[in-house]
Amino acid sequence: MNSPATPRPAPLDDILARLTALHPRRIDLTLDRMTRILERLGHPERALAPVIHVAGTNGKGSTVAFLRAILEAAGLAVHVYTSPHLVRINERYRLGGALVSDEKLAAALAVCEAANAGAPITVFEIETAAAFVLFAQHPADVVLLEVGLGGRLDATNVVARPLVSVIAPVSIDHIEFLGDSLFKIAAEKAGIIKDGVPVVCAAQEAEAAAVIERQAARLRAPLTAAGQEWSVSAEGGRLVYQDEQGLLDLPAPRLFGRHQFDNAGLAIAALRAARRFDIPAAAFERGIAQAQWPARMQRLQPGPLAAAAPAGAELWLDGGHNVEGGRIVAAALADLEERVPRPLVVIAGMLANKDARGFLANFAGLTRHVIAVPVPGSDAGMAPEHLAEVARALGMRVEIAPDVTAALAALARLAYDVPPRIVITGSLYLAGAVLAANNTPPA
């Protein structure tokens, strides 16, 4: 790879501030800016280890977490690029199993900044270019690449021939960029499919499945679809996966919720379809049991924020923010309620462009108590007053709090016969603020 000489990096925050200033006022999804900067960088995306490319609306991050855990359990060196981050930008980049250091990330961003030469570019695009620079500089066995938005015109979609393309469940989200129908959104997600490259697909709504099947057939890309070529189920508290290569009887995922069985199955199917790695059954077992992915039905650990909750309360955190994400969280909470009944309180904060009514409606049968909070540090946050109006229209008892700590403190002043189960949800940005306030950032 030929690239510009590495300039002396400025502190990471300084570089990020300068790059943010280059962000176009209006985001137009295109690969033109990525093509330009990658050419100036000497095409680092062509010097990567074999790539597994993952798209989808919900579950792609968890799928990547399972892929990483299994591959690392098999003794392989894995680079990972995901988004968004929750607390620190370093979370987006894993080099051989560890979060990238400030120094290495600043150096890669400085190289990209110099190559870009002040031209307009989105923050995500230059962050993605930095991932390619980092991954090309450090050898590995495999690169896991998560799509940021959509697929067809996403900045990650410049790898000409990945090892396998993976499509997690597709649902309605980001309609301002991807279209206002499942058909249009699925077409954007299916844009990661490459000529002749195997495609592994999660269970989909019929409309989305048809779009993916047509695109795979058009590009002669072998398709391995859930419910057809492979299946996964929960049996006796264990995960049972089956395909033409045989059956795997594995531990239940450490990640909580029935949907995580599906995400784990998708990761297994992707690795089996790749036919590149010799992964023993023991590595599948360890990976499934050990995979972690923060802010996805995460039991919040002790910390300054958690200390404000009522004594004995269960405190959960989930960054779900669209209608389907809300359904998944609600289903996980329903499972918990069936096992150990507790009164449920939802502390919610959302961005203004999200379907608050569709999201909160998922919880209507589980709780009547919602506390609306702002999303800290976001100009795009939904006013808590508006979120409260939506919840009231659903027949819920609603309060407004200035932040999550105040919401928890208010609950601590109430009398409960049984300590409550509290879920903080509605936004990954809110989830990041919670982890930061609790001094429990991702590691």
What averages of pLDDT result for each successive group of 10 residues across the chain (443 residues)? 52 85 75 97 98 96 98 98 96 96 96 95 96 97 96 96 97 81 95 98 97 98 98 96 96 95 98 93 97 96 96 96 94 95 97 96 94 93 97 96 97 94 97 97 92
What's the CA gap between 219 and 365, in Å, rounded?
44
Residues 6+ apart with CB under 8 A from 410: 371, 399, 401
pTM given for the model? 0.93
pLDDT the model gives residue 146: 98
pLDDT the model gives residue 397: 93
3-state secondary structure (DSSP) of residue 27: coil
Q: Count CB-CB contacts under 10 A for residue 330.
A: 24
Decide the pairing of beta strands 199-201 and 164-167. parallel
pLDDT the model gives residue 2: 47
Q: Which of 396, 385, 311 is nearest to 361 (CA)?
A: 396
Quick: pLDDT tens for 331-370.
999 999 999 999 999 999 999 999 999 999 999 999 989 9
Look up residue 371 and give its two tokens: 């506390």
Q: DSSP letters along 51-102, please?
A: EEEEE-SSSHHHHHHHHHHHHHHTT--EEEE-S--SS-GGGGEEETTEEPPH
Look up residue 421 and give its two tokens: 């189960």
Cis before 7 (ω within 30):
no
- In order of their start, the domains of the chain are 12-290 (3.40.1190.10), 298-437 (3.90.190.20)
Pair 220, 198: CB distance under 8 Å: no
